[in-house]
Structure 1
Amino acid sequence: MASKLLDRLRRTLFKEGEVVASEPIDVPEDSFPESSELDDTECLSERLGGTLCFDGESAMESEDPDTSPVDLSPGVSSLLTCQLQESWRSLSCTVPEKLVFEVTDASVVPESSSKYVLYTIHVIQSGMFDKTPAVITRRYTDFERLHSRLRRRHGDHMERVCFPRKRLRKNFVAETIAKRSRAFEQYLTHMHSLAELRRSPTFLEFFYLGDLQAGQMLMRVGRYQEALGPLLNGLRLQEKLGCEQQGKQQPHHQQGTHWLFTLLALVTCFQELEQLGEAQEHCDRALRDVAPSPEALQQHLFHPLLIPLLQTNVRLSWKISKDKRRWEVLLQEIQDSGADVGNQPSLKEYLMKENLVESEGNTKAKVKRDDTT
């Protein structure tokens, strides 16, 4: 597809190896039988995602053996390549990375005198082989609660969104479960396609917050190995949903706090399990997100966890013989500015006390569930 797009542009700009005059070109519509494929930006992004390459001479090679290459001079060829590069960068900035939501399992789970269906959903990045798919398990009432909250907060975008209704009977037959599985896939895909909903804390926390809460509870009782599973899954979910970028732009926002909590929780778990390389890697990643600018440092405007993070990273780097000079210099600059670097809480103390709540209130509030779903 990339070679066909490039060839069409060549035909438009050049004729028999020479630049065509600036007058309009009268080209019959049937000369480009596939031109309709370019009308839809999202379709174009989906079809070309990950296939356009402008490295070296391979960028100008045709993948279609039936297409004769156009003889372009080096200067003109370079100009055309630059124009294509710029167009593709602009397109990539406007089209978000697409996620695929796939229900891979739906199990009927007994619960005291009732039962419910538990849906397992894989969250996968499209356009490439995703080595780290993230997984969530949700039941009907979880989706119903999400839908209700999105309607309250984003009513204009939710007016025409269909949601699978409850049924009085046959909720556990294979046909109903299959239909609901497809409906939930389409529902999440549609929510993620809308920019306002895709960035909504209500939508984002539906995916990852339960994992962070589970990891924190396990850490509080010293079960660090078990805590790694939900914490790593929560990290992958946040990465796919774009929470990392939100955390960098707004470190004190709810999503920024959750993102940093995840990294620090992994640092602590790996430390307790004597996996120091992994601990230092996540510590270094957190520092890159919260490191202040020189101007902010002069005004003492930096993250309250910056000092304990620096101290932890320096110790970990020393233990695994990794270069730590950059962070030692920053820590010394903070100390020279008059900040107290000796009376700081440990990262573990912060993690145990942090109250992980949803944006709409305390997650400990119980939600009534319908036993017929």
Structure 2
Amino acid sequence: MASKILDRLRRTLFREGENPSEADGVDEFPESSELEDETDYVSAKLGGTLCFESDGVLESEDAGEGSGPDSDSDVFGESIETGCSSTEISPTGPSNLLTHQLQESWRSLRTRSIPEKLIFEVTDASVVQENTSKYVLYTIHVIHSGVFDKTPAVITRRYTDFERLHSRLRRRHADEMEGVHFPRKKLRKNFVAETIAKRSRAFEQYLTHLHSLPELRRAPTFLQFFYLGDLRAGQMLMRVGRYQEALGSLLNALRLQEKLGCHQLSQQNHLQRVHWLFNLSALVTCFQELEQLGEAQEHCDRALQDIAPSQDALQQQQFHPLLIPLLQSNVRLSWKISKDKRRWEALLQEIQDSGIDIGGQPNLKEYLIKEILEDSDGETKSKVKSDDGSQAY
């Protein structure tokens, strides 16, 4: 199509009587051959999908072949129809316009990109022997589709964990769970490869179905099934000073919370807000203990953005109990890494001027170690008894 456009331009210029010799096939535009090669190369690189836009409608090159001799004028607007002279059209003019059309086509394609959704993929299933108990542990990756997900999150669950989730969801959301199917128990052959493979696919489909239903996707029971075990494990590891191990659990919990949209739902659900802020604050403590001050300050700042009080709330001394410990941590961290701390320093000073003793408050680590992490059913233990007597998150 690019060569047709150039021929069209030449014929237009010839009709203006610029040079009679050109009508006899003498080429006075040596650059035109280079332009022709360049556009053909771009078309080849795009695999024949070179498109132009006319009146907001994308047309392929194949459609242009049958659109008649006047179709080329739509690409260049009025330039050909008004008979521009050779002084008004440079040899590089069509190339620039071609680049512009390609950019417009790319923008249009980007607006029609595939929407993001979550994919639940069982990547491993292993048989575990624990004392007198034997079970299959499924490793599930939670991945964003539609984008390159650099931070997939991982959970490990067994059949009884899924069964408990299903039971709780049916109790709390009976109507929405009406059409959701759960893989039944088997009396035998639970550990053969065929059964494990079938259950792996069934669990993928089960989680995908739950996540596709808006009411269940936002349900605290569904959300906590993914991240709460890691959050509690991180807290226990912090209590015994194993900050590097705690960091792994907390970061995985944060990735799960982000993928599931917990940071957005935290404004609507009190328990989600508690868990979200606890995780950010725990990461501040772990990074600080590991001398990763930049990461600590970044998560501290993120938590403060979520709980920064309004002026009315400040005057009435109604603010989150984590506010003062986070402000104190952020001011110290910002000072150490030479980052601007004036906003949070001023807020801390304003709280002190209102008559609150900021020196008598527990520090961030003390607050987090004492915090009790409940689930939506009011359970506070990080482990619960399974039906077979074994322990599971």
CA distance in structure 1 between the aligned counterparts of 2:325 and 2:128, rounded to whole angstroms: 44
Q: CA deviation at 1:193?
A: 0.9
CA distance in structure 2 between the aligned counterparts of 1:136 and 1:189, rounded to whole angstroms: 15
CA distance in structure 1 between the aligned counterparts of 2:62 and 2:364, rounded to whole angstroms: 62
Q: Does 1:246 align with 2:265?
A: yes
- SS of equivalent residue, structure 1 residue 121: strand
Equivalent residue number for residue 293 of structure 2: 276
Conservation of the 8 A alpha-carbon contact between 2:244 and 2:286: yes
Question: Compared with structure 1, are the counterparts of its residues 170 and 219 closer, same or farther at alpha carbon in structure 2 (3 Å cutoff)?
Answer: same
Q: 1:332 aligns with which of 337, 342, 349?
A: 349
CA distance in structure 1 between the aligned counterparts of 2:57 and 2:331, rounded to whole angstroms: 49
Higher relative contact order (CA 8 A, sep 6+): 1
Show CA shifts across 1:156-179 (max 9, x none): 011221110011111111111111
Equivalent residue number for residue 298 of structure 1: 315
TM-score, normalised on structure 1?
0.74
Conservation of the 8 A alpha-carbon contact between 1:115 and 1:371: no
CA distance in structure 2 between the aligned counterparts of 1:158 and 1:297, rounded to whole angstroms: 43
Conservation of the 8 A alpha-carbon contact between 2:122 and 2:200: yes
Q: 2:335 aligns with which of 318, 321, 325?
A: 318
- SS of equivalent residue, structure 2 residue 338: coil
Q: Does 1:146 align with 2:165?
A: yes
- SS of equivalent residue, structure 1 residue 119: strand
Q: 2:360 aligns with which of 343, 367, 372?
A: 343
- SS of equivalent residue, structure 1 residue 165: coil
Conservation of the 8 A alpha-carbon contact between 1:263 and 1:282: yes
Equivalent residue number for residue 14 of structure 1: none
Question: Compared with structure 1, are the counterparts of its residues 371 and 264 closer, same or farther at alpha carbon in structure 2 (3 Å cutoff)?
Answer: closer
Identity %: 76
CA distance in structure 2 between the aligned counterparts of 1:111 and 1:309, rounded to whole angstroms: 41
Question: Compared with structure 1, are the counterparts of its residues 328 and 367 closer, same or farther at alpha carbon in structure 2 (3 Å cutoff)?
Answer: same
CA distance in structure 1 between the aligned counterparts of 2:62 and 2:299, rounded to whole angstroms: 50
CA distance in structure 1 between the aligned counterparts of 2:349 and 2:164, rounded to whole angstroms: 49
Q: CA deviation at 1:198?
A: 0.8
**Coordinate RMSD, CA, aligned:** 2.8
CA distance in structure 1 between the aligned counterparts of 2:128 and 2:298, rounded to whole angstroms: 39
Q: 1:202 aligns with which of 208, 213, 221?
A: 221
CA distance in structure 2 between the aligned counterparts of 1:355 and 1:342, rounded to whole angstroms: 24
Conservation of the 8 A alpha-carbon contact between 2:122 and 2:139: yes
Aligned residue type for 2:190: N
Q: CA deviation at 1:64?
A: 4.4
Conservation of the 8 A alpha-carbon contact between 1:116 and 1:371: no
Show CA shifts across 1:214-252 (max 9, x none): 1111111111111111010000000001111122x24x7
Q: Does 1:170 align with 2:189?
A: yes
Q: CA deviation at 1:334?
A: 2.0
1:186-265 aligned at under 5 Å gives the runs 186-247=205-266, 249-250=267-268, 253-265=270-282
CA distance in structure 2 between the aligned counterparts of 1:366 and 1:119, rounded to whole angstroms: 18
CA distance in structure 1 between the aligned counterparts of 2:356 and 2:57, rounded to whole angstroms: 59
CA distance in structure 2 between the aligned counterparts of 1:233 and 1:63, rounded to whole angstroms: 46
Q: CA deviation at 1:332?
A: 1.9
Conservation of the 8 A alpha-carbon contact between 2:115 and 2:146: no
Equivalent residue number for residue 19 of structure 2: none
CA distance in structure 2 between the aligned counterparts of 1:187 and 1:99, rounded to whole angstroms: 13
In structure 2, list runs of 5 or more residues that go unmatched: 1-52, 65-70, 78-103
Equivalent residue number for residue 369 of structure 1: 387
Q: 1:113 aligns with which of 122, 132, 141?
A: 132
- SS of equivalent residue, structure 2 residue 151: coil
In structure 1, list runs of 5 or more residues that go unmatched: 1-56, 74-80
Q: CA deviation at 1:65?
A: 4.1
Question: Compared with structure 1, are the counterparts of its residues 290 and 371 closer, same or farther at alpha carbon in structure 2 (3 Å cutoff)?
Answer: closer
Q: CA deviation at 1:63?
A: 8.8
Question: Compared with structure 1, are the counterparts of its residues 67 and 267 closer, same or farther at alpha carbon in structure 2 (3 Å cutoff)?
Answer: farther
Show CA shifts across 1:125-173 (max 9, x none): 1101100000000000000000000000000011221110011111111
Conservation of the 8 A alpha-carbon contact between 2:235 and 2:368: yes
Conservation of the 8 A alpha-carbon contact between 1:141 and 1:370: no
Aligned residue type for 1:332: Q
Show CA shifts across 1:39-81 (max 9, x none): xxxxxxxxxxxxxxxxxx9xx79594445595698xxxxxxx9
CA distance in structure 1 between the aligned counterparts of 2:115 and 2:303, rounded to whole angstroms: 24
Conservation of the 8 A alpha-carbon contact between 2:324 and 2:348: yes
Q: CA deviation at 1:302?
A: 1.5
Equivalent residue number for residue 160 of structure 1: 179
Conservation of the 8 A alpha-carbon contact between 1:270 and 1:276: yes
Show CA shifts across 1:181-207 (max 9, x none): 111001101111111111111101000
Conservation of the 8 A alpha-carbon contact between 1:228 and 1:269: yes
TM-score, normalised on structure 2?
0.70
